[in-house]
């Protein structure tokens, strides 16, 4: 019933949607993708900041370049992509077939992404540099 009410509300807001004859689908997979993107960006910013703060973590992350000489971001981006992929899979399984409030999930993902992006700016991550 709640799904039908939502569909009717969508048709009232945008009547041209009704003409398309689209079937209703759950929002969970979309929310999972959005939140996983935010988590991945947050992880990149976090690893960038922590790499500056900890010499041990810095050395460990640099070992992820596999002797290809791709630069200091290789380990940070590799680990961030792993975090993104694992979170997307876990969230997609957890939210499969569920209707969620996409606005709430969007804002959480956006906030995580902005915080993560800020962590990649030199004035921010260099302020955490180990002395």
Residue 33 has pLDDT above 70, yes or no: yes
**pTM metric for this prediction:** 0.79
Q: What whole-number percentage of the chain has pLDDT above 90?
A: 39
Q: Rounded to the nearest 10 degrees, what angle do helices 74-95 and 55-62 cross at?
A: 90
- Tell me the pLDDT tens digit for each residue of 86-123: 999 999 999 998 888 889 999 999 999 999 999 988 88
Provide CB contacts within 8 A for 12, sequence distance 6+: none
Closest CA to 116 of 48, 64, 55, 54: 48
- Among all chains, which residue has been given the structure tokens 């876990």? 90
First to last CA, the chain: 61
């Amino acid at each position: 019933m709640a799904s039908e009410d939502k569909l009717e509300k969508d048709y009232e807001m945008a009547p041209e949607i009704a003409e398309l004859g689209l079937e209703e689908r759950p929002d969970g997979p979309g929310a999972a993708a959005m939140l996983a993107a935010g988590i991945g960006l947050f992880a990149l910013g976090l690893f960038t900041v922590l790499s500056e703060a900890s010499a041990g973590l810095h050395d460990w992350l640099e070992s992820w370049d596999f002797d290809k000489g791709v630069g200091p971001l290789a380990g940070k981006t590799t680990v961030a992509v792993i975090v993104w992929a694992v979170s997307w899979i876990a969230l997609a399984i957890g939210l499969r077939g569920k209707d969620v409030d996409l606005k709430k999930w969007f804002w959480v993902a956006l906030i995580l992404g902005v915080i993560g992006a800020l962590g990649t700016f030199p004035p921010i991550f260099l302020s955490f540099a180990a002395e």
